[in-house]
Amino acid sequence: MPSHRDEESAHLCLGRLVNRFGDDNERVMALIGLMKEADATDDATLEVVLKEYEALLQENPTNIPIVKRRVALLRSIGRIPDAVTALTGLLDFSPTDSEAWSELSDIYFSQGLYSQAIFALEEVLVLQPNAWNNRGAAPHVHQIGIGDQNDSAKQLAEALKRFCRSIELCDDYLRGYYGLKLTTTQLLNDPPKPSKQAESDGLSPPNLSTLQKLDGLATEKLGEITRRFTAGERGWRGFEEAEIVAARELLEKSSSTTVR
Amino acid sequence: MTWFSKSTTTFGFLLLAHACYSAYEHSALQSHRAASLSSLSATTQQAAASSSLPLDISLETIVATLVITLGLVLNTAKLRPIQWRVWAGQIERAGEEGARNSSGEVDRDYVGNPFKLLESRPGFVDIRKQRKEFAEWVKRQ
C-alpha cells in the first residue's frame, strides 16, 4: 500500500485547494470525490461515494468533472453499461468533449464493440484533426479477425490510411511506423481479394509496389529509431523504452520470416 | 556562441555611451562658446550653427544601435520549428531534451505532446487501479 505519508500529503494538497478555490468549485468537488474513492476500502464505501455523486448531479446535472468521475467510478466497479449510458448522456449536452469521446471509444473497444469504438474515434478525429496520436487505426486492425473477408480489405486499407496520416503529421512517430509496418506486412502476406464495393468507396488498398515501398520505408525508419535510441544519441532519447523494445521485436520477427 | 553575442552587445553599449557623452560634451562646449561670444559681441549668428550635432556623433549613435541589435539577435534562443510535422517529430523524438534552453533548463511552457490527454484522460482516471499498481511498484522496489 502507499505509505501513510503519501496519503497525508495528498490530503494536505487537497486542503489547500479547498482553501484557495472553495469546496463548491466543480473541479475541486471532483478531486474531493477522487480522494474518497482512493480512501475507500470496501464496495459499500464506493456505493456511498457514487450516491454522493448522484446527489451532486441532482443539484447541477451539467457538472462535467463530477459526471466524468461518476463514469470512471461506474467503469471501475464493473458496471460498464451504466458507465456507457452516463457517458453518452454527457456527450449529449457536451458533444465537443474529445476526452469523453476518447474514453467512450476505449470502453467500447474493451467490450469488443469495434464499430462503435471506431465511430467514437472518428468524432475525436473531427474535433482534433491535427492530433497525430489519435489511435484511429488501432481498432481497424483488431477488427480484421472478426469482420468477414470483404470487410477486412476495407478495414486494412482504412488502417493504412490512418497510419500514413499520423506519420504525415509527425516525423519519426514510432507508433505510426509500427502500425504501418504491421498493416503492410499483413497486406503483403495475405493480399485480400479486391471487392467491387471497396473499390467504389475509394478504400481499396494501394497496389503491390506502393505497399512494398511503404513496408520498406517503415522497416528503415523503425531500424533507424531503435538504433539511434539504443546508441543514446542526443535528441533521440525521448521515446518510451517499452515501445522501442516492441519495435525491435517486430523487426526481428519480420526479418526472420523473410529469411525463411 | 554566447560569449560572442555578449561581447558584441557590450561593445555596442560602450559605443552608445560614448556617443551620448560626446553629444553632451559638444552641447556643453557650444553653449559655453555661445555665452562667451555673446558677451564679447551682441551678434547671435553663431547660435544657429551650434544647435546641429557633428556628423561623426550621429553616425556613432546609429552604428552603436545596430551593433547592440546584432548582439541581442545573436543571443536569442533557437527558434521553434514552424512546420507541424517537424515540431511534432521533435516532441516525439527528443522529449524534454528538445525544449532545453541554452542554460540547460526545460522551457516553462513545455507541455510535451499536447494531445496526450486523448490517451491519458485525466478526467476519467481509475484511481483505485492506479493505487494498486503503485502499491505493486513500491513492493518491487
Structural domain boundaries of chain B? 2-74, 84-140
Task: Please tell me whether residue B6 adopts helix, strand or coil conformation.
Answer: helix
- A237 lies within 8 A of chain B by CB: yes
Give pLDDT tens digits for A45-82: 888 999 999 999 998 888 899 999 999 999 988 889 99
> Cα separations (Å) of A86 from A61, A93, B130, B134?
11, 11, 22, 28
Q: Which pLDDT band, with edges at 50, 70 and 90, does A258 fall under?
A: low
DSSP string, chain A: ---HHHHHHHHHHHHHHHHHH-TTSHHHHHHHHHHHHHH--SHHHHHHHHHHHHHHHHH-TT-HHHHHHHHHHHHHTT-HHHHHHHHHHHHHH-TT-HHHHHHHHHHHHHTT-HHHHHHHHHHHHHH-TT-TT--THHHHHHHTTTS-HHHHHHHHHHHHHHHHHHHHHSTT-HHHHHHHHHHHHHHHHSPPPP-HHHHHTT-PPP-HHHHHHHHHHHHHHHHHHHHHHHTT-TT---S-HHHHHHHHHHHHHHHHHHH-
Do the domain assignments include residue A118?
A: no
pLDDT higher at A129 or B22: B22
H or E element at residue B16:
helix B2-40
A133/B118 CB distance under 8 A: yes
* pLDDT value for A180: 85
B126: nearest CB among A2, A72, A172: A72
Q: Which pLDDT band, with edges at 50, 70 and 90, does A1 fall under?
A: low
Could you tell me the residue range of the domain that residue A221 belongs to? 153-260
* pLDDT value for B76: 83
Do the domain assignments include residue A242?
A: yes
Q: Which residues of B touch A38 (CB under 8 A)?
A: 127-128, 131
- A68 lies within 8 A of chain B by CB: yes
Give pLDDT tens digits for A183-195: 888 788 776 665 5
**Mean pLDDT throughout B72-78?**
84
- A123 lies within 8 A of chain B by CB: no
**Mean pLDDT throughout A228-250?**
81
Closest listed residue to residue A247, CA positions, set A260, A227, A191: A227
Do the domain assignments include residue A133?
A: no
pTM, whole model, 2 decimals? 0.75
Do the domain assignments include residue A7?
A: no
Do the domain assignments include residue A231?
A: yes
- A232 lies within 8 A of chain B by CB: no
- Among A221-235, A239-253, B96-110, the minimum mean pLDDT is found in B96-110
* pLDDT value for A260: 46
A18-37 residues touching B, CB cutoff 8 A: 30, 34, 37
Determine the residue of chain A that is closest to B98 in CA distance.
A235
C-alpha cell at A223: 531500424
8 Å CB contact between A147 and A155: yes
A238/B94 CB distance under 8 A: yes
B88/A170 CB distance under 8 A: yes
Give pLDDT tens digits for B90-109: 888 877 776 666 566 777 77
Q: Which residues of B touch A37 (CB under 8 A)?
A: 127-128
**Torsions phi, psi for A220 (to 5 deg):** -60, -45
ipTM at complex level: 0.72
Domain count, chain A: 1
